[in-house]
Structure 1
Amino acid sequence: MKYIIIGLGNYGHVLAEELSALGHEVIGVDMIESRVESIKDKIATAFVIDATDEQALSVLPLNNVDIVIVAIGENFGASIRVVALLKQKKVEHIYARAIDGVHKAVLEAFSLEKILTPEEDAARTLVQLLDFGTKVESFKVDDNYYVVKFVIPEKFVGYFVNELNLDEEFHLKLIGLKRVNTIKNCLGISLTEHSIVNALPEDAKFRPGDELVCYGKYSDFQNFWKAL
C-alpha cells in the first residue's frame, strides 16, 4: 500500500519507518529539515514542506495513495488546518492523530476515516500493567467496547473458570483462551506450543501462562481489574 505521512515527529517517524519496513511505499512530509533528513533513506520519498500551505501541499500525490495520515500532534492549529485542506482537496482516506479530547472532538467534525489516539492508548496500556500486574493487549472496537487479551495473574492459577464470574458479575464475554502446552518431538526434546481453546468447560482450571481473550465495555474491564 501507499501512504503519505504528514508530520515526522517521534510518532510519525516510527510510523513511517515501520510501514516502510513492512514493504509499504511511504512518503514522509515535515517542515523541519532535520526530521526529513533522519528518515529519508528509510522510506520511498520525503519532502520538506509546510503542509499548512495549500500551494505547498499540492505538490504531494494526495489522490494517488491509499491513505494520508496526519501525524501532527503538538501543533493543534496545524493539525486541523492540514485536515481541512485535505478534505477540501477531496482526499478520501484520511487518518489523523489526536492528542487530547478537544483535539479529537474537533477532528470528529470532519468525519475522518480514523482518528488515532496513541497517547491515550499508551497511557491505558501502562495503567493496566501497573494496576493489573500483567501484560494486556487490547483492540478498540468503538469508544466503549474492546477485545482484551491478558496473561492471567499467578493468583488465578488453579482457579476454576466459573469462579471468575466474568459474564454474570462483570458483563464480560470470554471469547477464548490461549494455552501453553509442552510437548516432546520424535527425539524426546521438550518443545512449547500454543493452542487456542474456544470452549472452556466450567470445571476447567487455569494453568500458568494461560491468556484470556475477553470482549466487553472498557468500564466493565476496569471494574474487573479493581475487583482483583
Structure 2
Amino acid sequence: MKYIIVGLGSFGSSLGVALTSQGHEVIAIDSSMQKVEAYKELITHTICMDATDEYTVKGLPIVDTDIVVVAIGEDQGANVMATALFKTLNARHLISRSINPLHEKVLQAIGVDDIFHPEKESAMRWSKRLSLRYFVDSYSLTDSFSIVEIGIPQALVGKTVAELKMDYKFNLKLLSTLRYEHYDDSFGRTQRKPNIQGLATPEQVLQDNDVLVVYGDNKHINQFLRSVGVKVH
C-alpha cells in the first residue's frame, strides 16, 4: 500500500518507519529539513515541505495514495489546515490526529475518515501493561473487547491448548502464540519483532517464552488470568 504521512514528530516518524519496514511505500513530509534528513534512510521517501501550502501539496501523488495520515501534533492550526487541504484534494482515505475534544469536532466537521488519539491510546495501553504483570500488548476493538498479548504464566507451560478449555470455561479464543526476537537497528539500538507461530491448534504444547494472543471480553480475560494465579488489579 502507499501512504502519505504529514509530520515527522514522535508518532509520525515511528509510524513511517514501521510501515516502511513492513514493505509499504511511504511518503513522509515535514517542514523541518533536520527531521527529513534524519529519517531519509528509514522511510521510503522524505520531503521537506509546508503541508498547508496548496501549491506544493498538489504536487504529491494524492490520487494514487491509499491512506493519508496527518500526524501533526504540536500545532493545532497547521493540523486543521493540512487536514482540510488534503480533504479538498480528494484524499482517498484521510486520517488525522486529534489534540483535544474541540479539535476533534473540527476534524469531524471537515469530514475525515478516522481520528486517532496517540497520547490517550498509549496511556490506555500502558495502564494495562502496568496493572497486569503478564500483559505484553493489546488492541482494543471496543470498550469491552480486545485482542491482547499475554506473557505465558508459568502454570501453563507444558499444557496443550485443548487443556486450557478457554472457549468453554471463559468464552475466550486463543488465536495464536508468538515469540519476540531481538535485533539491532541501523542506529545500534536493540529492537524486537514478533515471530508468530501460526494459528493455535488444540494439540499445540505451550512453551516457556510463548506470548498468548487472546481475543475476548476484558472481564473474561481477567477471570482467566486469575484462574491461573495471576494477580489482576
Q: What TM-score comes out, normalization by structure 1 length?
A: 0.68
Separation in 2, partners of 1:21, 1:197: 26
Q: Give the structure 2 partner of residue 49 of structure 1.
A: 49
Shift of 1:8: 0.9
Shift of 1:130: 1.5
Shift of 1:6: 0.7
Shift of 1:51: 1.0
Q: Secondary structure at the match of 1:92?
A: coil
In structure 2, stretches of 5+ residues that fail to align are 180-195
CA distance 1:21–1:173, shift in 2 (3 Å) = closer
Separation in 2, partners of 1:40, 1:146: 35
| Bigger radius of gyration among the two | 1
Separation in 1, partners of 2:68, 2:38: 21
1:1-228 alignment, distance < 5 Å: 1-142=1-142, 144-154=144-154, 161=164, 167=170, 173-176=172-175, 178=177, 197=200, 211-217=211-217, 228=232
Separation in 2, partners of 1:50, 1:132: 43
Shift of 1:179: 9.0
Shift of 1:26: 1.9
Shift of 1:199: 5.5
Does structure 2 conserve the Cα–Cα contact (< 8 Å) formed by 1:6 and 1:71? Answer: yes
CA distance 1:145–1:29, shift in 2 (3 Å) = same
Q: Secondary structure at the match of 1:27?
A: strand
In structure 1, stretches of 5+ residues that fail to align are 181-192, 201-205
Shift of 1:215: 3.3
Cα-to-partner distance string for 1:134-157 (whole Å, 9 max, x where unaligned): 233222324553222312445777
Indicate the larger mover: 76-85 or 35-44.
35-44
Separation in 2, partners of 1:90, 1:56: 15
Shift of 1:30: 1.0
Shift of 1:221: 5.8
Separation in 2, partners of 1:52, 1:14: 22
Shift of 1:70: 0.9
Does structure 2 conserve the Cα–Cα contact (< 8 Å) formed by 1:73 and 1:97? Answer: yes
Separation in 1, partners of 2:26, 2:173: 39
Cα-to-partner distance string for 1:177-209 (whole Å, 9 max, x where unaligned): 6499xxxxxxxxxxxx95754569xxxxx9865
CA distance 1:138–1:106, shift in 2 (3 Å) = farther
Q: Secondary structure at the match of 2:123?
A: helix
Shift of 1:21: 3.1
Does structure 2 conserve the Cα–Cα contact (< 8 Å) formed by 1:2 and 1:25? Answer: yes
Q: Secondary structure at the match of 1:50?
A: coil
CA distance 1:80–1:145, shift in 2 (3 Å) = farther
Does structure 1 conserve the Cα–Cα contact (< 8 Å) formed by 2:176 and 2:197? Answer: no
Amino acid at match of 1:61: P
Separation in 2, partners of 1:12, 1:142: 24
Shift of 1:78: 1.5
Amino acid at match of 1:71: A
Does structure 2 conserve the Cα–Cα contact (< 8 Å) formed by 1:175 and 1:198? Answer: no
Does structure 2 conserve the Cα–Cα contact (< 8 Å) formed by 1:148 and 1:215? Answer: yes
Q: What TM-score comes out, normalization by structure 2 length?
A: 0.67
